[in-house]
Amino acid sequence: MTKQHLKKMVFIMALMVAMVLPMGAFADDTIVADNQDNNIMPCMTYIEEWKNGLGISNGIATVDCWVKGDVLNATKAKVIAELQLKSGNSWIAYGTWTSTQNDYEAYVYKTKAVTEGHTYRIKATYTVWEGTQSESVVSYTDEVTA
């Protein structure tokens, strides 16, 4: 066997081993994603999709956050939506809402009065369970000035 054939064989074997490794072992990690509107999204095992939205009009902030797991396999879904107020270079909690459902999806839709001229965003934590296994993602909206 030539050296070139040996290199090809080692490469193919390494590729086969990499394809067989169990990827489900990484499912309990929490992934932090920036704005959901990006075209590049993390690959999720239990969470199929999520949405976080913040709209401000006439001094009222509308918080709209939703997560969906696999319809056939998800056993519980949870959303923690935190409206944050910018204070200097930091963000402080201005309002927090949680929804937990023994189902494949959960959502938070709330409104809260805000102060004109201040800047806000949503920090949303989404979790979906399949039995005892879970997966979470943290997502932020863009900043919105009232």
The angle subtended at Cα 69 by Cα 67 and Cα 73, nearest 5°, is 155
> Domain containing 132 — which CATH number?
2.60.40.10
Using CA atoms, how far apart are residues 61 and 76, in angstroms rounded to an integer? 28
Q: What share of the chain is helix, strand, coil (3-state, %, to 5)?
A: 15, 55, 30
Q: Evaluate whether residue 18 is within a structural domain.
A: no
Q: Evaluate whether residue 87 is within a structural domain.
A: yes
Q: Evaluate whether residue 16 is within a structural domain.
A: no
Task: Give the tens place of pLDDT for each residue, 129-139.
Answer: 999 999 999 99
**Average pLDDT taken over every residue of the chain:** 83
Task: Give the tens place of pLDDT for each residue, 8-64.
Answer: 665 565 555 554 444 443 343 444 444 444 445 567 889 999 999 999 999 999 999
Q: Give the mean pLDDT of 94-106.
A: 96
Range from 8-12, 86-90, 114-118 carrying the lowest mean pLDDT: 8-12
Q: Evaluate whether residue 14 is within a structural domain.
A: no
CA atoms within 13 A on the CB side of 18: 6
Q: Evaluate whether residue 11 is within a structural domain.
A: no
Residue 36's domain comprises: 25-145
